Amino acid sequence: MTRYIVRRLLYGILILIGVNLLTFLLFFAVNTPDDMARLSIGGQRVSQSAIERWKSERGYDKPLFFDAQASGAQKWTNTIFFTRSVPLLHFDFGFSDEGRDIGNEISQRMGPSLALAIPTFLLGLFVCISFALLLVFFKGTPLDFAGVVICVVLLSISGLFYIIAGQWLFAKILRWVPYSGFVDGWGSLRFLVLPVLVGILSGLGAQARFYRTLFLEEWGKDYVRTARAKGLSERVVLFRHVLRNAMLPILTGTVSAIPLLFMGSLISESFFGIPGLGSYTIDAINAQDFSIVRAMVFLGSALYIVGLILADISYTLADPRVRFE
Amino acid sequence: MLVESIVNRRHVLQRNPNFRGQPYPCEGEPGDREMGLLDDCGKLTPFIDRIVFSLEKESVPLMGKFLQGYYDVPQVDRGDYGVAMRVAAGDSADKAALYQERGLQLRSSTEASVYYMGFNWRDPVVGRGDTPEQQEKNRKLRQAVSIAFNWEQFVSIFQNDEGQVAYGPVPPGVLGYQEPPAGLNRQVYTLENGRAVRRPLDEAKRLLSEAGYPDGRSAETGKPLILHFDSAGGMGSSAMLDWMRRQLAAIGIQLEVRATDYNRFQDKMRNGSAQMYMWGWVADYPDAENFLFLLYGPNAKADNGGENASNYKNPEYDRLFEQMRFLDDGPEKEALVHKMVAIVQADAPWMFGYFPKSGGAYQSWVGNAKPTQMVRNTLQYYRIDPALREQKIKAWNAPLWWPLWLLAAALAAGGLLAWRVARRRDRASAVTGSDLSRQS
């Protein structure tokens, strides 16, 4: 298994280099360093000398990929792409275009992101699995039909609607929770109730439908019939046999998603005023801060690769028959 | 002084105990005294000990929290929310009633800024022109277009009436601005019963014909006249661009929109390759010089990288500008400004567009508040009544708990129903009655 993991990690490095190259190309195709300077300096009278100074201070005065005037290896190393990409490989994110330490910002903002993401993830998983089990338990009854209809309705609605409707209902009309905000420590609980609820509800329809399908697939298998024939109650059959055997595909989805929890939620964090990595990314995109966007895309890709490797490993733990050899 | 600063989240200002204090103004604009804005005349500012700026990224929570009383002012740096609330109150009786019930103060004032539509002076069709004949023809074309573009309608539709149509480049409140009839742009308007009335489209068509484009077609080639609008955003299909096309279509001119992002738009302006464009200027200081320099020849953007985006050049205008620029406010300067405005009204390098209004929304417990984008140090003048604020927040935000009990009852009923279904199924026999009869 070690050989497999090492191989996957090496593939991961190649993928990260590719992602970095693609991000670089896409960003600079629409946004030249001059454009970035103009936007950053702002004001009404941006002079060319101010633009040149801004670029020089941030290392954007170099050629993008190839420096024809340099000699030897410097033709490739004295470029924006090289100087900005190599440090990323050892997770040195450098400084934003505003001059702030990106690594420090990420570490500061990871906490608020996790404060929202972890409860949403864990409670969401619990609620979705429970709801799907209930639907399976009542399979063929009007309750199952009503549940499926509810799932389809829920998954047909945009996530943004849940946020706006949630704020309207719970913050404006009922006034149970605040619209948005965040404070450090346990005091933020009252601010997190609504985004967590919205997060769970917006994912419930799709996930519950998916889990229901998984459970139903197990439901028709021989071992379930055998368990019933032994006289076990439906509850025991469902929780002890069906749930355990359906865990493998559930594990795949959930374990691979765990590392991405660190990245936060782009929309929720902005709407609920949570100063996490999602809102950090949105702010960077709005400000056309390439350094932050590139760092966040790189971090997201790295975490995704880690998530997939973890999911692979989790197979062997959940099902001893799975081997990597 | 700044005691806390978290980027994109919160900034806190606190009274500096060593500050000498500044006296509150005793003079203001007309109407300020009647509104009680000069009652604190001479008292030392600031009146507030601590100001907390919270950065809300989305408008829904911002407005929600403002209406709940958690913010005294929804926006400090701009007046968009004040304008939006004034518009909402005008559109909806419910909202107007809500704002009134909350005692919100919704104020507006015309800003020292201008949004205009410019013609590129270097362009052979709408620009200056090479020969005196061509210059006159081009001027008539610009005048015809200026008549056809109904800025009153533009302000009404796209600015929700929160703007004032401009007759020249100098906005109200700045020395040199003249109210109609004196300040009327007579190239585009006539005066009827003391009111400015846009010249009729027939006159625009006549001017167009004299410019060499009868019925919107070139008198020489017969080809339709197509003008290009270099848009700084969108993909060329917005309602505003459609509206613009219709304005020119009314006199037979086709408008083609060349839409790019703002960066590319800036490139075009630097290169002087745009034909018609829309841009704006927010004054750095309330002086006519800061608007008239936008048309000063040596400031041409394409030649010298200045802010004269139309690249307009008129030696007489430039001479007057050089006389005016260093004069102190007074009759001499005012007269020069009037002359310069008259020149650009006649030359029409711009359609003067409109002066936007700034709106302010303030809670009832906020005093001395007045919207402005020009004066940026108004926070020191604000007064807050914290007792009233606390009382109102408490009154407005009492939770409504009864739906929670309703929800609990619904869940209990659902649970009971589920339990009954489960029990019935557990008790059901594996073989049904019909199966038994079939076996017998």
User: Are residues A78 and A128 located together in one domain of the fold?
Assistant: no
* A293 found inside a domain: yes
User: Tens digit of pLDDT for each residue in B354-371?
Assistant: 999 888 899 999 999 988
* A135 found inside a domain: yes
3-state secondary structure of A83: helix
pLDDT of A215 higher than 50: yes
Question: Which chain A positions have a beta carbon within 8 Å of B417's beta carbon?
Answer: 143
User: Tens digit of pLDDT for each residue in A125-138?
Assistant: 999 999 999 999 88
Judged by a CB distance cut-off of 8 A, whether residue A188 touches chain B is no
* Whether B8 and A31 lie within 8 Å, measured CB to CB: no
Predicted local confidence at residue A256, as pLDDT: 82
* A253 found inside a domain: yes
Strand partners, B280: B115
Average pLDDT (B191-220) is 93
Predicted local confidence at residue B440, as pLDDT: 46
Average pLDDT (A204-219) is 92
Question: Which chain A positions have a beta carbon within 8 Å of B398's beta carbon?
Answer: 175
CA atoms within 13 A on the CB side of B371: 25
Judged by a CB distance cut-off of 8 A, whether residue A44 touches chain B is yes
* A95 found inside a domain: no
Torsion angle of alpha carbons B306, B310, B311, B317, nearest 10°? -100
User: Are residues A149 and A284 located together in one domain of the fold?
Assistant: yes
User: Are residues A145 and A293 located together in one domain of the fold?
Assistant: yes
Angle between helices A80-89 and A290-318 (to 10 degrees): 30
Per-residue exposure over A54-71, b if at least 16 CB sit within 10 Å of its own CB, e if not: bbeebebebeeeebeeee
Structural domains of chain B ordered from first start: 2-104+363-396 (no CATH), 113-357 (3.10.105.10)
Range of the domain at A77: 33-90
Amino acid identity, residue B382?
Y
* A74 found inside a domain: yes
For position A311, which CATH number holds? 1.10.3720
Please tell me which residue, A84 or A111, carries the higher pLDDT value. A111
Judged by a CB distance cut-off of 8 A, whether residue A104 touches chain B is no
Predicted local confidence at residue B243, as pLDDT: 93
Cis geometry, peptide bond prior to residue B181 (ω within 30 degrees of 0): yes
User: Are residues A189 and A228 located together in one domain of the fold?
Assistant: yes
Tell me the residue ranges of DSSP E strands in chain A: none
* A1 found inside a domain: no
Residue of A nearest to B68 (CA): A172
Predicted local confidence at residue B434, as pLDDT: 52
* Beta carbon pairs, A and B, within 8 Å: 82
Average pLDDT (B404-411) is 94
Name the pTM for this structure. 0.77
Helix (H), strand (E) at residue B357:
strand B350-362
User: Are residues A70 and A113 located together in one domain of the fold?
Assistant: no
ipTM: 0.79
Question: Which chain A positions have a beta carbon within 8 Å of B71's beta carbon?
Answer: none
Give the gap in angstroms from C-alpha B397 to the nearest C-alpha of chain A: 6
Average pLDDT (A24-37) is 81
Question: Which chain A positions have a beta carbon within 8 Å of B418's beta carbon?
Answer: 134, 138, 143
CA atoms within 13 A on the CB side of B250: 17
Judged by a CB distance cut-off of 8 A, whether residue A178 touches chain B is yes
Average pLDDT (A168-196) is 92
Judged by a CB distance cut-off of 8 A, whether residue A45 touches chain B is yes
* A160 found inside a domain: yes
User: Are residues A71 and A122 located together in one domain of the fold?
Assistant: no
Predicted local confidence at residue B432, as pLDDT: 56
Residue B417 makes CB contacts below 8 A (sequence gap 6+) with A143
Question: Which chain B positions have a beta carbon within 8 Å of A283's beta carbon?
Answer: 8, 57
pLDDT of A325 higher than 60: no
Q: Which of B9, B60, B426 sits opposite A275 (nearest CB)?
A: B9
User: Tens digit of pLDDT for each residue in A184-195?
Assistant: 888 889 999 999
Question: Which chain A positions have a beta carbon within 8 Å of B115's beta carbon?
Answer: none
Q: Which of A31, A167, A174 sits opposite B403 (nearest CB)?
A: A174
Give the gap in angstroms from C-alpha B293 to the nearest C-alpha of chain A: 13
User: Are residues A75 and A115 located together in one domain of the fold?
Assistant: no
